[in-house]
Structure 1
Amino acid sequence: MRKTAIITIIAMTLMLCYFTSASIVKLYRAGSPMPAALQEQEVPYRLVLITQEMDTPFWDLVGDSALAEAEKQGISLQIWGSYGSNEDDFLKKMEIAIASKVDGIIVQGLDTEEFNELTKIQAGRHGIPVITVASDVPMQDSLRRTYVGSDHKEAGRLVARELLSDMGQAGTVILIGGSRQRYDQDLRLAGIHDILQHYPDIHTVFAEAPDERERVVSAARDVMNRYPEADALIAVNSNITETLVREIGKRYQQSPFRIYSFDDSPETMELLKAGKLEGMILQSPEEMGRISVDLMVKWLKSEAGPLDMSGYYTNIRMVKAEELP
């Protein structure tokens, strides 16, 4: 009887181990690589940087500068993320970081209820400070400590001023936005309207183009059909510029639109060099990585005092084709 009971207990223990392992494997199913283990290390703080856009030129620069600053500060920093803007995988990385009880999370902001739930309630419950980088979310919804990145409202103003300089004080301007980056997009639109509202002869039209390439193409065709007399086009969503420009190029040998972008990817830079764009906003990803790590460490050491909840803005500037080498 006693032997049977012991065998039963062993069997139950083995089954429990199996199902626990299976659950972990399921969590990191194909296409979602398991992050490096957050083991206890002989470092004062363990941080993670999480992005939705792993292995892109912009985020490579953010990550490299963040790692360099972490090494300088003598702390541990791991970079996790998803590929192709996989929102579910991105949020799972957030959950894992919180469950691992890291000392701080630096993360690309995502303006959704699920993201805000993780930062406001789950991270808050564990006392884990969260700093958003590059993309922000409303502080009151997320309770993030601060934001490090471009001032998107000022970026909108820069584009509007450049448009006035190029186009003059009259004309029709199409603003094309998308379904992602809604908070950043709203700030850019607000900056554009801050400037253009003082020019009654400039008319703005907003068109939404979801991120999927086929739907961006469809939206571009629709805009060109509805507003053939438009003078300028501003890609407010930074992820759609390349598809938008190439679709316009299929219809017109010489684009009738002055096109402006908030995307400074290598692909968009090539379009600018080729004269397909009038101008684009150049950001400072290296500053973002360095400053976000530095602020997080200072906060953890109680050296920073209250962080500026409105954010720490990195350098931005408008770039024209004639300025490029």
Structure 2
Amino acid sequence: MGNKKKRRNLLVIGFLFITPLLLGCVNQSKSKQTIMLILDTQDSHYNQMIEEGVMAAISDYNDVSILKRRLKNTKESYQQNVYVQEAIDLGVDTIIFSAINIEKSKKDLEFIQKKEIRVIMMDSFFENPYNFNYIGTNNKEAGELVGKTLVELIGSEAEVGVLSFEDESLSSQEKEKEKAFYRFIEEFSRIKIIEKKLTRSDNETVQLLTEEMLTNNPEMDGIIAFNEYTTIGAGRAVKNKKMQNKVAVIGFDSQIECVELLENGSILALIVQNPFAIGYLSIQSALNPSNDEKINKPIFTEVELVTQKTMYQSKKERLLFPFSYQD
């Protein structure tokens, strides 16, 4: 039990930008509450870590009922709105919502505002926040960090390729990151996007598309990937074509293969997020709402740039290997 509690403390506090929500020890919820947790697909490491955080938070609280709803695939974004209506019909206290397509859910979320149901947006953010609580990555900051990393590690004169999901598979947060990246590099006229490949969440397909991109563009200096699948596919392609010292991959997330590809030089840099903390804080926020104001300021969790040289620095290592710190 002591080790379990220590692991949770290290995961949440050890590598989190400290927020007012985490001051002091965990408070127990005052009365039984029902939360509906509406997630997207489960197959990514990122989403699995969010759920790890959710379950760790639930184990720290009493008198809470959790109803979990998850999509089978990203094409079913409409189903999230069905879940929202179900939550309204059941009269839950809080909806924690990770939107596949936030614009398609806008009407339903505005309707919830008229009900006595609290909404916490998890990693999905309107440019106009519509007075919803938000917990997750600062996607604008993450996208800009990709651009800064490109300039710092590759240079202000470069020809790069971009890997992204097809529109129907592209989540709201990935769109925000990509948009912020493009805005940032507008200042650098000699950075050229020479090819962009659209794909789905399939490492093998991404690898084949990346190898084709590399063959078609032998002058390419780097590849930008905005999620776990495109990062792994790009890293595999560079490794397979033995182009580690020629083409620099900048990608996202800390799935074990991402880390291995970073370690062997097939990926130059990873932008590492903190999905465990997002899950944990979402539950904590639902069970301990502010008494002073209905809507809190957005809670942005940590984003770190990790390279082969820095990956074993203490703070970055905690993000890459969080469960190594459970003892």
**TM-score, length-scaled by structure 1:** 0.73
Structure 2 counterpart of 1:183, one-letter code: S
Does the CA-based 8 Å contact 1:235-1:260 persist in structure 2? yes
The answer to which of 240-249 and 155-164 deviates more is: 240-249
Equivalence for 1:244: 234
What are the ranges of 5 or more consecutive residues in structure 1 without an aligned counterpart?
Answer: 1-41
What are the ranges of 5 or more consecutive residues in structure 2 without an aligned counterpart?
Answer: 1-29, 313-327
Residue of structure 2 aligned with 1:312, choices 281, 296, 299: 299
| 1:197 correspondence with 2:186 | yes
Does the CA-based 8 Å contact 2:232-2:258 persist in structure 1? yes
Cα-Cα RMSD:
3.0
Instruction: Tell me the secondary structure at the aligned position of residue 322 of structure 1.
Output: coil
Alpha-carbon distance change, 91 to 257 in structure 1, aligned in 2, over 3 angstroms: farther
Counting matched residue pairs gives 277
CA apart distance, 1:324 = 3.1
Equivalence for 2:27: none
Does the CA-based 8 Å contact 2:162-2:223 persist in structure 1? yes
CA apart distance, 1:138 = 1.7
Q: Percent identity?
A: 19
Does the CA-based 8 Å contact 2:41-2:73 persist in structure 1? yes
Alpha-carbon distance change, 315 to 308 in structure 1, aligned in 2, over 3 angstroms: same
Structure 2 counterpart of 1:284, one-letter code: N
Alpha-carbon distance change, 189 to 224 in structure 1, aligned in 2, over 3 angstroms: same
Does the CA-based 8 Å contact 2:238-2:266 persist in structure 1? no
Residue of structure 1 aligned with 2:132, choices 126, 145, 148: 145
Distance 1:220 1:168 in 2: 21
Instruction: Tell me the secondary structure at the aligned position of residue 174 of structure 1.
Output: strand
Does the CA-based 8 Å contact 1:110-1:137 persist in structure 2? no
Per-residue displacement from partner, 1:190-213 (whole Å, max 9, x unpaired)?
432454333332223461412153
Structure 2 counterpart of 1:174, one-letter code: G
Equivalence for 2:262: 272
Instruction: Tell me the secondary structure at the aligned position of residue 294 of structure 1.
Output: helix
Alpha-carbon distance change, 181 to 308 in structure 1, aligned in 2, over 3 angstroms: farther
Structure 1 counterpart of 2:135, one-letter code: V
Structure 1 counterpart of 2:121, one-letter code: T
- Which structure would you say has the larger Rg? 1
Distance 1:245 1:275 in 2: 9
Alpha-carbon distance change, 127 to 143 in structure 1, aligned in 2, over 3 angstroms: farther
Alpha-carbon distance change, 170 to 84 in structure 1, aligned in 2, over 3 angstroms: same
Structure 2 counterpart of 1:64, one-letter code: E
The answer to which of 271-280 and 61-70 deviates more is: 61-70
Equivalence for 2:10: none
CA apart distance, 1:245 = 2.8
CA apart distance, 1:137 = 3.6
Residue of structure 2 aligned with 1:164, choices 151, 175, 184: 151
Residue of structure 2 aligned with 1:81, choices 70, 73, 83: 70
Instruction: Tell me the secondary structure at the aligned position of residue 32 of structure 2.
Output: coil
Distance 1:276 1:254 in 2: 8
CA apart distance, 1:295 = 2.5
Alpha-carbon distance change, 65 to 170 in structure 1, aligned in 2, over 3 angstroms: same
The answer to which of 313-322 and 280-289 deviates more is: 280-289
Does the CA-based 8 Å contact 2:46-2:255 persist in structure 1? yes
1:1-325 matched pairs, under 5 angstroms = 43-54=31-42, 56-78=44-66, 79-85=68-74, 87=76, 90-121=80-111, 123-134=112-123, 136-138=124-126, 140=128, 143=130, 145-179=132-166, 180-205=169-194, 207-211=196-200, 213=202, 216-217=206-207, 219-250=209-240, 252-255=241-244, 256-299=246-289, 303-308=291-296, 311-325=298-312
CA apart distance, 1:103 = 0.7
CA apart distance, 1:218 = 5.8
Distance 1:120 1:65 in 2: 27
Instruction: Tell me the secondary structure at the aligned position of residue 196 of structure 2.
Output: strand
Does the CA-based 8 Å contact 2:226-2:252 persist in structure 1? yes
**TM-score, length-scaled by structure 2:** 0.72
Does the CA-based 8 Å contact 1:130-1:144 persist in structure 2? no
Does the CA-based 8 Å contact 1:239-1:263 persist in structure 2? no
Does the CA-based 8 Å contact 2:102-2:172 persist in structure 1? no
CA apart distance, 1:221 = 4.6
CA apart distance, 1:235 = 0.4
Distance 1:244 1:57 in 2: 17
Does the CA-based 8 Å contact 2:161-2:224 persist in structure 1? yes
Alpha-carbon distance change, 90 to 215 in structure 1, aligned in 2, over 3 angstroms: farther
Distance 1:69 1:186 in 2: 29
Alpha-carbon distance change, 96 to 235 in structure 1, aligned in 2, over 3 angstroms: same
Per-residue displacement from partner, 1:73-108 (whole Å, max 9, x unpaired)?
534142332345462555544443332221111121
Does the CA-based 8 Å contact 2:160-2:193 persist in structure 1? yes
Distance 1:270 1:229 in 2: 26
